[in-house]
């Protein structure tokens, strides 16, 4: 087990899974709005003994659309609203780089997942990783996690292309995070 502690962990993408997505980016806490049922789904995971973490690309920082401080405000709103429903996220890992920066942490590369595993000292082997885009699924798979697609956010469009991606045509697909969590907890 490589000295890593076995824990129940779930990795979530943020935009399109937890909160409503926008092609114009979520640039401030005022623009951040949870998808109905997503916060309660995270709380249900917590109550079932899962640690929940977030892995999110945030290239709006590199593009100059918002600052790290604005991102921190968005994440504080996420934490605050989760606390109100009895939930929490243990860690939010984000990639601040742009698509052309050739970093290792921008999904579909698995670097962000490796950072999460290292920071929490856990193995991600088989851990559910829920996303709405092909890059989420690829990063999860490359890191040894189990990719799960939700149709919220960009998920419906992603679902249409799954048959063209070797190895991704049989992954579980759910309408939203709440439905995916229902399946995980049954």
Q: Annotated active-site positions, please? A: 13, 15
Q: How far apart are CA 86 and CA 170, in angstroms?
A: 33
Instruction: Give the integer Cα–Cα distance in Å for 15 and 186.
Output: 25
What distance in Å separates the CA atoms of residue 60 and residue 66, rounded to the nearest whole number? 6
Percent helix, percent strand, percent coil in the chain, to nearest 5:
35, 15, 45
Q: How many CA atoms lie within 13 A of 140 on its CB side?
A: 29
Point out which residues pair with 173 in neighbouring strands.
149
**Cβ-count burial of 137 within 10 angstroms (0-12 exposed, 13-18 middle, 19+ buried)?**
buried
Question: Tokens 């590199």 correspond to what residue?
Answer: 62
Calculate helix-pair angle for 111-120, 134-142, nearest 10 degrees.
Answer: 50
Cβ neighbors of 23 (< 8 A, separation 6 or more) are: none
């Amino acid at each position: 087990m490589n000295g890593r502690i076995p824990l129940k962990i779930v990795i979530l993408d943020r935009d399109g899974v937890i909160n409503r997505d926008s092609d114009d980016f979520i640039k401030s806490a005022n623009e951040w709005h949870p998808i109905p049922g997503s916060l309660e789904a995270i709380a249900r995971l917590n109550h079932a003994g899962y640690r929940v973490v977030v892995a999110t690309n945030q290239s709006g920082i590199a593009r100059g659309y918002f600052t790290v401080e604005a991102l921190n405000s968005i994440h504080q709103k996420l934490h605050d609203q989760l606390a109100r429903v009895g939930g929490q996220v243990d860690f939010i890992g984000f990639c601040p780089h742009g698509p052309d920066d050739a970093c290792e942490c921008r999904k579909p590369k698995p670097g962000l997942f490796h950072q999460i595993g290292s920071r929490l000292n856990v193995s991600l082997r088989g851990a559910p990783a829920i996303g709405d885009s092909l890059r989420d699924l690829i990063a999860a798979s490359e890191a040894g996690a189990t990719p799960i697609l939700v149709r919220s956010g960009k998920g419906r469009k992603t679902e249409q292309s799954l048959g063209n991606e070797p190895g991704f045509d049989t992954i579980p697909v759910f309408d939203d995070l709440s439905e995916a969590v229902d399946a995980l907890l049954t």
